[in-house]
Structure 1
Amino acid sequence: MNQSPFFSAGRRALLLAGAALLTATAVPAAEAFKLDGPPKIAFIYAATARDGGWNEAMDNARQIVAQELGYPVAAAESIAEEASALKNAIDLYVQRGFNIIVTTSYGYSDGVLEAAQKYPGVAFLAASGTTNAANLESFYARTYEAWYLAGMAAGAVSQSKTLGMLGGFPVSVVNWDINGFTRGAQAVDPAIRTIALYTNSWWDPAKEGQAAQSILEQNADVIANNLSSAAPFTMAEKAGKASVGFQLDMSKLAPKGHLTSVVFHWDKHLVPTIRQIVGGQWTPTEHGAFPGMKEGVVDITPLGDKVPAGARERIAQARQQILDGSLAPFAGPLLKQNGEVAVVEGQHPDDATLWAMDYLIQGITGSVR
């Protein structure tokens, strides 16, 4: 496992603008995009493709794209999150006739926009990106939906009524995972609290292990990991506690205590989107694509044996309600840690409000400051 390239640490300040994510330099297309030449697809990774986390989930989708669509598919690994490195990689692919480029890191956002402007006949899909254009669409998933269900599982097994969750940086997409997890747990037991710790890194096994140990020492009996390292699962397993994984199925890392993992199925977005591109039916959305459980892009893995039967039924019901739109994880009333109303009763946050989620909710110990 290598560092997840989901975001570049050097670009955190920009992400803290939250509401700007997936909206920056949005340029809606006046008509459907026309692909220049026969379809050839290239994926670009900031680290090794089989990293055990973010990249591996994306690379699994790459393989399915190749199998289902039958077009030529290539991949470049360990392309630095620098404009020149990305530019060189894209130039080489375009020269070889590749005209659908999938970039897989937030740190590529500015560079991929420049490439889109340079190559108007090439389609660009940017995972976790912040830029959009007539031939460029950024995309991410509604991960908070699946984290809500994972929180229900954690709340159902917790005896201490104390959960723990590790995150990388206090940015919107991490905050809504922590909040969604806690919200789901509180749906099972309103008395449950969550200890949130940010490691200020996307990959640091030593730091993640120390953070997990610290949470366990505070009487938490479930550790949820919003990162990719095996260390938190190892710590939880040694302590005889439960755990929840992210990005891929992490059950093998904690065979006794694993409850479920929140996982990506990026092929569910990429396959139909690429079909639209090839068919001349793709018009990039102004603020990027934001699929969720309904589209099959994010979900939870089968529940572990520790989750009781009654809880399984409630989780299955909640899952169906999220799919049919009758359950919104952040439906009001939703209160911030300081008691301020974040969402009033009878409403739920729109996408712009979600991207600006710079707070944690009541019931969480930890700070985004």
Structure 2
Amino acid sequence: MRNPITLSTLSLAVSLTASSVLMANVAQAKPFQLEGEPKIAFIYGATARDGGWNEAIDNARQIVADELGYPIAVAESIPEDASALKNAIDLYVQRGFNIIVGTTYGYSDGIAQAAEKYPNVAFVNASGTTNADNLESFYARTYEAWYLAGIAAGGVAEGDKLGMLAGFPVSVVNWDINSFARGAQVSNPDASVSVLYTNSWWDPVKEGQAAKSLLEQGADVIANNLSSAAPFTEAEKADKYSVGFQLDMSANAPKGHLTSVAFHWDKYLVPTIKAIAEGTWEPSEYGAFPGLAEGVVDITPLPDSVPEAVKQTIAEKRAAIIAGELTPFDGPVLAQDGTEKLPVGESLSDEQLWAMDYLVQGTVGGGQ
């Protein structure tokens, strides 16, 4: 089950700007001080081993346990309901747990209320929108890795057509689609990406049908911004390439898997929890937004089917992004209809990223 930001993200994105995303009422004067020895609780909105979003976080939980050795508890399938979350957090706090890790946007308000109720407990929340003196929400610059995946896809396509499946037309999805398309144009300037939104985060039947439709339209590569295996199965049957998301999806497409944009949440969670334990943690008032430079997101190793020249380009672009010398959205940035969104010589700000409600030139469609 894919649950990156939950269905509630659709309503969030309608009014979302960077001033409201990861916003806070934080006036941090000094580092947060944890009371007692660290005891950590991870709270999931679905099953932890869901094959997608939650599993990526759960992989990080296991690394946290191995590297830091603190007691860790897990609660699965806690609804994105304020009372259900409150009950889970209350129970953990009563049992002495003082670091709570939320895993979904839908917990944002509830976890903010808990942070206010328990000022001596540390909270972090994946894809959340609330922050406080003892709460930090976090997400990743996924578009950086999707740009690299796009370069690989454009470099192996026999023609100029690629396809991409996505859930909803919200900013955190649009920036993945747009960066993938811009990356594809690095290795193939004539490349175009046909886009289909499924209006669901998890619908294997619909995703399989959408992938088949894109393949019938001539797509040589299917990029899947969701997490069911269906699109990979369709690509394999058509003897075409595929790109995965969240986890290494190569097992779903042993012949045609090109790469996956994978999360490594331990690169955020391990140092953050360590800082909490050491009394040096200062939550950002805008939340944490790490990317390639921090190792929180990256692409999986490329197969031999990717030409060496393309691999070299990817390595150079990756190094430039990490060094802060390049972003996937350096101007000019043009929308599908040719409208200039950013002039040459400028780069999109975080505010502009969070407000991205358009697809760029080089993409086609965007309907269901």
Instruction: Give the structure-1-normalised TM-score.
Output: 0.97
Partner of 1:225: 224
Give the letter aligned to residue 66 of structure 2.
Q
Partner of 2:7: 9
Deviations 1:278-335 (A, max 9, x none): 1111111111000000000000000022211111111111111111111211000110
Partner of 2:16: 18
Partner of 1:353: 352
Contact 1:101-1:125 at 8 Å conserved across structures: yes
Q: Give the deviation of 1:338 after TM superposition.
A: 1.3
Partner of 2:44: 45
What does residue range 126-137 of structure 1 map to in structure 2 within 5 Å? Answer: 126-137=125-136
Whole-Å Cα distance in 2 between the matches of residues 108 and 194 of structure 1?
34
Partner of 1:84: 83
Q: Secondary structure at the match of 2:291?
A: coil
Contact 1:208-1:232 at 8 Å conserved across structures: yes
Partner of 2:313: 314
Whole-Å Cα distance in 2 between the matches of residues 119 and 69 of structure 1?
24
Partner of 1:163: 162
Tell whether 2:322 aligns with 1:323: yes
Contact 1:16-1:172 at 8 Å conserved across structures: no
Partner of 1:339: 338
Q: Give the deviation of 1:40 after TM superposition.
A: 0.5
Whole-Å Cα distance in 1 between the matches of residues 4 and 89 of structure 2?
19
Partner of 1:243: 242
Contact 1:251-1:260 at 8 Å conserved across structures: yes
| Identity among equivalent pairs (%) | 66
Q: Quote the RMSD (CA, aligned, Å).
A: 1.3
Q: Give the deviation of 1:147 after TM superposition.
A: 0.3
Q: Secondary structure at the match of 1:332?
A: coil
Q: Secondary structure at the match of 1:367?
A: strand
Q: Give the deviation of 1:276 after TM superposition.
A: 1.0
Give the letter aligned to residue 178 of structure 1.
I
Contact 1:22-1:139 at 8 Å conserved across structures: no
Whole-Å Cα distance in 1 between the matches of residues 328 and 130 of structure 2?
27
Whole-Å Cα distance in 2 between the matches of residues 118 and 327 of structure 1?
42
Give the letter aligned to residue 13 of structure 1.
S
Give the letter aligned to residue 312 of structure 1.
K
Contact 2:23-2:287 at 8 Å conserved across structures: no
Deviations 1:5-24 (A, max 9, x none): 22232452123323155334
Contact 2:137-2:288 at 8 Å conserved across structures: yes
Tell whether 2:138 aligns with 1:145: no
Q: Secondary structure at the match of 1:227?
A: coil
Give the letter aligned to residue 335 of structure 1.
L
Q: Secondary structure at the match of 1:81?
A: coil
Uncovered stretches (5+) of structure 2, i.e. residues with no partner: none
Whole-Å Cα distance in 2 between the matches of residues 206 and 27 of structure 1?
44
Partner of 1:304: 303
Uncovered stretches (5+) of structure 1, i.e. residues with no partner: none
Partner of 2:54: 55
Deviates more, 1:100-109 or 1:314-323: 314-323
Give the letter aligned to residue 6 of structure 1.
P
Whole-Å Cα distance in 1 between the matches of residues 115 and 48 of structure 2?
23
Contact 2:155-2:307 at 8 Å conserved across structures: yes
Partner of 1:185: 184
Whole-Å Cα distance in 1 between the matches of residues 158 and 328 of structure 2?
23
Give the letter aligned to residue 68 of structure 1.
E
Whole-Å Cα distance in 1 between the matches of residues 159 and 248 of structure 2?
25
Whole-Å Cα distance in 2 between the matches of residues 287 and 261 of structure 1?
28
What does residue range 247-258 of structure 1 map to in structure 2 within 5 Å? Answer: 247-258=246-257
Whole-Å Cα distance in 2 between the matches of residues 149 and 360 of structure 1?
18
Contact 1:149-1:318 at 8 Å conserved across structures: yes
Whole-Å Cα distance in 1 between the matches of residues 244 and 327 of structure 2?
22
Instruction: Give the structure-2-normalised TM-score.
Output: 0.97
Deviates more, 1:171-180 or 1:305-314: 305-314
What does residue range 200-215 of structure 1 map to in structure 2 within 5 Å? Answer: 200-215=199-214
Tell whether 2:358 aligns with 1:367: no
